[in-house]
Structure 1
């Protein structure tokens, strides 16, 4: 939801009496905010662990939008109607991204429409992918043909040659190849996942809205949520003693605080400042 500069946001602070167990942040899960902050050029504050399973306590981020008449991507300013070089985008699903400053600066990209075909004979089929392609590049059908493909064992699952997968705690996307050696450092089989945060959510980032992740293991946010005049801050327990705070539009939250949002089945918390982060349940009855 976009909000005008003059619109005020009501802030109601509610003191919550919470059990210590529920106040603890789940730092044992993959730190999806680490990839989020890395893509924005933010730096982990000194003294905090920075790996795939433990989040730093907080980050410091550069000013993402110093000039409102320009678009910004990875610190580089773009004038109205100028395009980001495709080599800099590093995401095959974001093509021909052009700056637009009509209203709030944002990038408009060409839509990638993946047309998938289905086998009329209902044979056993798998779709195959290329590392630098957004859509599937082929199909292998037939029990014998599929069985003849090489396989890759990753995180307890078996992938056939040409299938795509994302190894846990890696923030990479990989393709199973005949040469797969089981390491994600192989540039011929894996590449870093680029969520295109500044391309697709530039206005939301500038408004200090919160990224929404689907479940606890997702790498890229599925959307952003912004506060409304009904948003309520629920004060929690800052058990880690982190002094940095989160900013949610014009609200300030301490680590452990939650804020209510309009999205169903979504919990938004100040876990790793300066952004509030949200997790949406995969199923509402979980």
Structure 2
């Protein structure tokens, strides 16, 4: 355990760890190729996951288990995230991927004085077209999902599905149909390669986010608060070089952010949408 960490024994009565956000981790772990160790009756999430060694060789980058040497690029056909383009491995102290910037210029000309909607294709990062005019928009087929109405060509993410879908004329509400729905891929290994290498913790915004918005890493001010492992989970989390038991928390520099060892092996964090909540 790093000497920079101050361990605080938490004697107060500790309630069972709030698991409402932890199922964000199901998609997170699946994207990293991890396997669930067991299921519990008290939550919708496994007790813990077993993950492959993400960086067997620190001198190279890894994506989906494939090593990439310094200056080598991931073939675009192998990338599962449509917004990750021309990604090249860079090894300078720690491995990371550098990708081309993708700017989705979703513009709307207010002078047109007519209703417009942006349309998408299933594997596109940005909108691929626009339908304008009251009559043209009204003629489009619609999809009713989670109490909302989407026009043909619009994208949406069905609640609790971890999928992104496109409204089509053939939409029948079956999100497992790969012709108009696909699994959301966050590009975690690509965009946070160096954070995974350092055993940092993913940060999720609120309780319903699918992809982490950032990672937080240990600093000299980080403190571990020992909690109670009421679920008696034997697996542990790793945060930097520090090992935590289920129920332990760790303080981080980011405001309005709570980080807990809930579903090992990663510590996971939730940032409040509003600090006044």
Superposition TM-score, scaled by structure 2 size: 0.93
Using the TM superposition, give the Cα deviation of residue 13 of structure 1 relative to its aligned residue in structure 2, in angstroms.
1.6
Q: Is 1:192 aligned with 2:183?
A: yes
- For the residue of structure 2 that corresponds to 1:205, the secondary structure is helix
Q: Is 1:83 aligned with 2:73?
A: yes
Using the TM superposition, give the Cα deviation of residue 102 of structure 1 relative to its aligned residue in structure 2, in angstroms.
2.9
1:267 touches 1:280 (CA, 8 Å); kept in 2? Answer: yes
Q: Map 1:1-286 to 2 at 5 A.
A: 10-20=4-14, 23-28=15-20, 31-45=23-37, 47-48=38-39, 54-119=44-109, 120-286=111-277
* Shift in CA distance, 129/108, structure 1 to aligned 2, threshold 3 Å: same
Using the TM superposition, give the Cα deviation of residue 261 of structure 1 relative to its aligned residue in structure 2, in angstroms.
0.4
Using the TM superposition, give the Cα deviation of residue 165 of structure 1 relative to its aligned residue in structure 2, in angstroms.
0.8
2:237 touches 2:265 (CA, 8 Å); kept in 1? Answer: yes
2:22 touches 2:263 (CA, 8 Å); kept in 1? Answer: no
Determine the C-alpha separation between the residues in 2 that align with 1:68 and 1:267. 29
Number of residue pairs the alignment of both structures matches: 274
Determine the C-alpha separation between the residues in 2 that align with 1:122 and 1:282. 34
Using the TM superposition, give the Cα deviation of residue 121 of structure 1 relative to its aligned residue in structure 2, in angstroms.
3.0
- For the residue of structure 1 that corresponds to 2:194, the secondary structure is helix
Determine the C-alpha separation between the residues in 2 that align with 1:213 and 1:122. 38
- For the residue of structure 2 that corresponds to 1:247, the secondary structure is strand
Using the TM superposition, give the Cα deviation of residue 18 of structure 1 relative to its aligned residue in structure 2, in angstroms.
4.4
Using the TM superposition, give the Cα deviation of residue 55 of structure 1 relative to its aligned residue in structure 2, in angstroms.
0.9
1:30 touches 1:217 (CA, 8 Å); kept in 2? Answer: no
2:54 touches 2:197 (CA, 8 Å); kept in 1? Answer: yes
Residues 167-196 of structure 1 show CA distances to partners (whole Å, capped at 9, x for unaligned) of 122211111111111011111101111111
- For the residue of structure 1 that corresponds to 2:238, the secondary structure is strand
1:260 touches 1:267 (CA, 8 Å); kept in 2? Answer: yes
Superposition TM-score, scaled by structure 1 size: 0.90
- For the residue of structure 2 that corresponds to 1:87, the secondary structure is helix
Residue ranges of structure 2 left out of the alignment (5+ in a row): none
2:87 touches 2:98 (CA, 8 Å); kept in 1? Answer: yes
Structure 1 vs Structure 2 CA RMSD: 1.8
Detail structure 1 runs of 4+ shifted over 6 Å in the superposition: none
Determine the C-alpha separation between the residues in 2 that align with 1:66 and 1:19. 40
- For the residue of structure 2 that corresponds to 1:101, the secondary structure is strand
